[in-house]
Structure 1
């Protein structure tokens, strides 16, 4: 892939078509994962309503799943951005983040937002990944 080409992957999220975005995009050696909400396995509901830790863990699990088609994983994530609806619960969100990354810690930002697309969502996470193209 040349530096000017993009590779996109999509999920089944209904918002992708409505809003006009992709799940993740490779641009050269970088992969960008769109804001990831705590969606359940069916894709139509919110995972673990009210549970800040479980929702953060779910977002991170979905981010790693989005990286697989690009042949990379959590160890290559260089930055996360956490958008939370209640910053007072920072320790719950942070514990899930710390457990997920362990020693492969990225840079991160956590900011409080007024609300997310579904009122039951407590967090949404974006990720930037350094994943050099082989060959």
Structure 2
């Protein structure tokens, strides 16, 4: 006796994807890319007020800057600490280029200085607001990122 994929999913206890889930993903994806663009523009221009409007009150910024065999993650929580960090790292500087990219299948940014990639940034959302910004500085963690 052979089970259909719906039956197999039901037996595993996972809900089958609904058509609405696919539509929501399609709609949210465009909104997320627009929000990441707005984040980039606000940070580059030093617009702290605009950043406040984009960030969830419980936002966290994780900076992965570890060395091989000695990984280090720094976490900053809260809107105002997040803004300080984002402005420090992304405000317009000579030689800094911030490009919007799809990073591992989600909206993100790639920072480079003088033609060399220095960081990748991914962004997670809680509804329309940014809830997590993950900045990867370590070359080993950036090596496997892919664009879609």
Q: Shorter-chain TM-score category?
A: under 0.3
Q: Which has the higher strand share?
A: 2
TM-score normalized with structure 1 length: 0.27
Between structure 1 and structure 2, the one with the greater Rg is 2
Q: TM-score, normalised by structure 2?
A: 0.25
Whose helix proportion is higher, 1 or 2? 2
Q: Which structure is richer in relative contact order (CA contacts within 8 A, separation 6 or more)?
A: 1
